[in-house]
């Protein structure tokens, strides 16, 4: 017990930059439970603020210029320029950030990294992970839970975006344990980050494409869309899309999870939807924070799943007003649409579905992973 209290004390000291009320709540919960895992992550926005004064892309370091200018490029959607860096297609503004992460970021031993391709359950994974890790300081049934006043993206920072904006110091201000997020391929992670606990979520590729399409439309000004769903579909089939190719993204983390299941938890969006409470329990066990008998009796896993459900999240005022982001601001409401499986049937012809299924099946052949029966 004394050892555990000492660990809690160290974590409280690390959290000295967090708001006083937050630290008091965390400390009280930790000491009451007497558990080493009682103090979890604090909301990023509560510590790092908005970074409003720095919301612009800084000029990349001079030594990056030659690297970036020599990279293959393509246009995507509304004439956005993508650069192919070490096999991954990145928005050209993000390349300096990814390089900086690789060269300058040093993970802490207790960092937890959430990873996803775009529009594959990122917002939900952030909410579930934050609520699970921080449940002692912030009971999921509490009326003052951070997720009731903050969008999940305000709770969990996006690593390469902060580096692209020159705001990596905001990450250092976060007390441990830190809960972080990236869209980077596994092959792009710096060694220290690749050794962290990683929670990865992927989604059926056809539904991913449809979700990207609706998200892009939702953030564009009226009449500002200069691309079609067919254009987006074609880029996905070619692997030339944001953070693509999707098959390389998925295979990197799938292989890592098979090689080190204690380090990489591989989740599938469709399975999470089938049993979100089971997902919460699995997540807690993986993070070394399994639910106690008392927590199970109190319904804590169920409360977390309910708090983080798309229906709950979508109904909150904070997720219907305001915006999240550093380099660009995205309306909170744009992160919550249907959240269902199989919406691709409303956008793709049978031939389109067969084609992308065949491509993905071929790319995944021999891996033991598949998305279609």
Record the pTM: 0.85
pLDDT tens for the chain, residues 1 to 373? 333 333 333 333 333 333 434 433 443 344 344 333 446 799 998 886 665 544 455 566 777 888 998 999 998 876 678 999 999 999 988 999 999 999 999 999 999 999 999 989 999 999 999 999 999 999 999 999 999 999 999 999 999 999 988 888 889 989 999 999 999 999 999 999 999 999 999 999 999 999 888 777 766 655 555 678 888 999 999 999 999 999 999 999 999 999 999 999 999 999 999 999 999 999 999 999 999 999 999 999 999 999 999 889 888 887 777 666 555 666 655 555 666 777 888 889 999 999 999 999 999 999 999 997 5
Structural domain boundaries of the chain?
1-39, 47-364
Please tell me whether the peptide bond between 245 and the residue prior to it is cis, using omega within 30 degrees of 0: yes
Rounded Cα distance between 288 and 286, Å, is 5
Cβ–Cβ under 8 Å, residues 63 and 163: no
First to last CA, the chain: 51
Rounded Cα distance between 292 and 133, Å, is 13
Query: Mind telling me the catalytic residues?
Result: 183
> What does the DSSP assignment read for 91-140?
ETTTHHHHHHHHHH----TT-EEEE--TTSSHHHHHHHHHHHHTTTTS-T
What's the CATH class of domain 47-364?
A: alpha beta
């Amino acid at each position: 017990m004394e050892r555990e209290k000492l660990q809690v004390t160290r974590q409280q000291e690390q959290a000295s930059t967090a708001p006083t009320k937050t630290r008091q709540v965390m400390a009280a919960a930790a000491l009451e439970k007497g558990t080493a895992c009682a103090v979890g992550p604090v909301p990023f926005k509560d510590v790092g603020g908005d970074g409003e004064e720095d919301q612009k892309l800084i000029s990349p370091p001079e030594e990056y210029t030659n690297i970036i200018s020599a990279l293959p490029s393509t246009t995507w959607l509304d004439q956005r320029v993508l650069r192919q860096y070490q096999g991954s297609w990145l928005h050209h503004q993000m390349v300096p950030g990814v390089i900086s992460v690789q060269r300058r970021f040093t993970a802490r031993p207790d960092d937890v990294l959430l990873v996803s391709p775009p529009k594959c359950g990122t917002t939900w994974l952030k909410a579930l992970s934050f609520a699970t890790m921080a449940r002692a300081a912030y009971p999921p049934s509490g009326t003052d839970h951070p997720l009731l006043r903050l969008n999940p993206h305000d709770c969990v920072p996006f690593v390469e975006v902060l580096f692209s904006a020159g705001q990596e110091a905001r990450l250092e201000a976060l007390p441990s344990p830190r809960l972080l997020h990236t869209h980077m391929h596994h092959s792009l992670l710096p060694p220290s980050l690749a050794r962290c606990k990683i929670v990865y979520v992927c989604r059926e590729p056809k539904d991913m494409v449809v979700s990207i399409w609706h998200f892009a439309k939702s953030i564009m000004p009226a009449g500002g869309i200069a691309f079609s769903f067919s254009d987006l579909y074609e880029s996905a089939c070619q692997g030339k899309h944001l953070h693509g190719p999707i098959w390389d993204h998925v295979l990197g983390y799938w292989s890592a999870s098979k090689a080190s299941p204690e380090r990489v938890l591989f989740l599938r969006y469709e399975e999470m939807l089938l049993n979100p409470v089971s997902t919460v329990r699995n997540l807690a066990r993986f993070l070394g924070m399994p639910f106690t008998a008392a927590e199970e009796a109190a319904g804590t896993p169920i409360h977390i799943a309910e708090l983080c459900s798309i229906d709950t999240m979508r109904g909150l005022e904070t997720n219907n007003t305001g915006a999240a982001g550093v380099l660009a601001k995205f309306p909170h409401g744009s992160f919550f649409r249907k959240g269902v499986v199989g919406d691709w049937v409303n956008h793709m012809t049978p031939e389109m579905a067969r084609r992308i299924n065949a491509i993905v099946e071929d790319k995944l052949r021999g891996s033991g992973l598949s998305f279609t029966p």
